[in-house]
Amino acid sequence: MSDLLTREEYDAIAKEISCPSNSWINGKYTGARSGKTYENFNPATGEKLCDIAACETEDVDYAVKKSRQAFASGSWSRRHPSERKEVMIKWVKLLKRNRYELAVLESLDSGKPVCDCASIDLEETMHCLAWYAEAADKIYDKIAPTQDDAMGLIVREPVGVAACVLPWNFPMLMLAWKAGPALAAGNSVIVKPAGQTSMTALRLAELAIEAGIPAGVFHVITGGGAVVGKALGEHPDIDTLSFTGSTEVGRLFLKYSADSNLKKVTLELGGKNPAVVLSDAEHLDAVAEHVVNACFWNMGQNCTSNSRLIVHKDVKDELLEKVLIKVREWRTGDPLEPSNRLGSMVSKAHFDMVMGYIKKGKAEGATLVHGGEALNVGSGCFIPPTIFDNVTREMTIAVDEIFGPVLAVMTAGSNEEALQLANETCYGLQASIFSSNVRNALRGAKELQAGTVTVNCYGEGDISTPFGGMKHSGFGGRDNGLEAFDQYLETKTIWVDLSEYEVDAELG
């Protein structure tokens, strides 16, 4: 984005910013009924930002009641899709008008570099919401193939009340991925942001109401996962629940559903994604750039982070050398400083966990070739890009999703072995493959067990392509693309008898 601000301008916004702290329920900021709050910190400085409402089951019940009433009223659910589109486009315009405030808010709350918040998170959030707004009035139903005596209509209707439980790594964007299609389809929506990063979700809800989304239709409810997340998962009057987060917590939502009303559940979960570099890979400078971006972007707190580099022995030394040169360009530090590519980890607890993995990598015998020590920047939680060479398949850093800036480099003796190593994981979210030979690249792409495979680049596709995981990385459906609507629409068959009735002579 060309209109990024200077350090001084971001500082000025941060100084004046007001931190939303109450839940957004039924069209207004609302504290928890219990009055409870929890402290919210800026992980880059350790400073307290605000006290956030710690909602509980009774707050969830109220939000669900209001959502159901709004759905039944038809104020949004039965509105013409083109009108829903107009309102959502207005919402996107309001995001654009408030983009710097939102970018700074996201950065303060999460430790992400403010430039990424402005040029990636916010841009993609707006694009996603606009995409689903535009799709709202272009979705057609189907008619079944029948004889002339019947007509089978296959129609899709909004499910009713949708809950979206979000992670902390892309707070605004994950909201858009889920609330975008859910709202465009006509549902009432309750969002539960991650406890660490609630502030932008709250501002987005405030702007949604300003754009014209009716009060009972969109809520953001803050609080702990084990309380608010669980209450949503177990609620008997929520029809669909879309979750992004860890595999461990994702499993709980299947239990919650089984024990309550069998609500639809869609899970987007963790990953231990490989970047596979075959022996015939060319343009190793470009490959190195992708490898560094894939692993370290967003401080590695990315479900599609390519945290394993699996590289053929013939190109390994040259590639690693180039990776080490590239990674030096990625400066880590104050997220409000535009020249920093990496900011702070999201919290002290997460920082400690990632540092624990680095310690394990050293103890288990991997060769540390870059980073490996926390940065001493004030009271922040900064970890520089860390690279381990000579990682073997049984080492903890080759197996666990670290969710931090840690790259495990594994050398393969053949292309077959590289693909085999890549699939040796319980996860299956994303994989990247690099090869100059189309046949090898496509064969490899087919063999890799992942919901998204990128060829000669790192990525996740874009908003037009479905996103989700195989194996322990996902369940029940996909975000993004038109496929995301499946989470928020129910299929109904309407069978119409068109046969000629014989006219009863007596009645006739």
Of these, 62, 71, 403, 434, which contacts ligand NAD (CB under 6 A)? 403
Q: Which of 55, 164, 303, 381 is catalytic?
A: 303
Instruction: Report the alpha-carbon distance of residue 18 to residue 25 in Å, rounded.
Output: 19
Q: How far is the CB of 204 from ligand NAD (least distance, A)?
A: 15
Reduced to 3 states, what is the DSSP secondary structure of residue 164?
strand
Q: Which of 268, 295, 381, 401 is catalytic?
A: 268
Query: Please, which residue, 81 or 466, has the CB nearer to ligand NAD?
Result: 466
Instruction: Report the alpha-carbon distance of residue 371 to residue 389 in Å, rounded.
Output: 12
431 contributes a contact to ligand NAD by CB under 6 A? no
To the query of whether residue 268 is one of the catalytic residues in this protein, the response is: yes
Of these, 180, 186, 216, 229, which contacts ligand NAD (CB under 6 A)? 229
> Closest Cα to residue 131, out of 482, 468, 466?
482
345 contributes a contact to ligand NAD by CB under 6 A? no
Of these, 171, 214, 270, 380, which contacts ligand NAD (CB under 6 A)? 270
Query: Please, which residue, 333 or 343, has the CB nearer to ligand NAD?
Result: 343
144 contributes a contact to ligand NAD by CB under 6 A? no
Alpha helix ranges (H) inside 121-261: 122-135, 171-184, 199-211, 230-234, 247-259
166 contributes a contact to ligand NAD by CB under 6 A? yes
Q: How far is the CB of 430 from ligand NAD (least distance, A)?
A: 9
Interface residues for ligand NAD in 34-93 (CB under 6 A)?
Answer: none
Determine the Cα angle at 261 with ends 65 and 160, to 5°.
Answer: 45
Q: How far is the CB of 460 from ligand NAD (least distance, A)?
A: 9
230 contributes a contact to ligand NAD by CB under 6 A? yes
Residue 439 parent element (H or E): helix 438-447
Query: Please, which residue, 195 or 371, has the CB nearer to ligand NAD?
Result: 195
Residue 451 backbone dihedrals phi, psi, to 5 degrees: -65, -30
454 contributes a contact to ligand NAD by CB under 6 A? no
192 contributes a contact to ligand NAD by CB under 6 A? yes
- Contact between 303 and 266 under an 8 Å Cβ cutoff? The reply is no
20 contributes a contact to ligand NAD by CB under 6 A? no
Q: Please list, in sequence order, all residues whose beta carbon lies within 8 angstroms of the beta carbon of residue 349, skipping any fewer than 6 positions away.
A: none
Q: Is the dihedral of CA 423, 426, 428, 430 positive or negative?
A: negative
Residue for token pair 């989470």: 487
DSSP β-bridge partners for residue 25:
28
475 contributes a contact to ligand NAD by CB under 6 A? no
Residue for token pair 């309001």: 94
Of these, 43, 158, 167, 180, which contacts ligand NAD (CB under 6 A)? 167
To the query of whether residue 303 is one of the catalytic residues in this protein, the response is: yes
Q: How far is the CB of 369 from ligand NAD (least distance, A)?
A: 25
DSSP β-bridge partners for residue 218:
189
Instruction: Report the alpha-carbon distance of residue 491 to residue 183 in Å, rounded.
Output: 17
Q: How far is the CB of 150 from ligand NAD (least distance, A)?
A: 42
Q: Which of the 8 DSSP states describes residue 237?
A: T
Of these, 271, 343, 372, 476, which contacts ligand NAD (CB under 6 A)? 271
Determine the Cα angle at 161 with ends 156 and 164, to 5°.
Answer: 105
**Residues contributing to the site for ligand NAD (CB under 6 A):** 165-169, 192, 194-195, 225-226, 229-230, 233, 244-246, 249, 252, 268-271, 303, 401, 403, 429, 469
Provide the annotated active-site residues.
268, 303
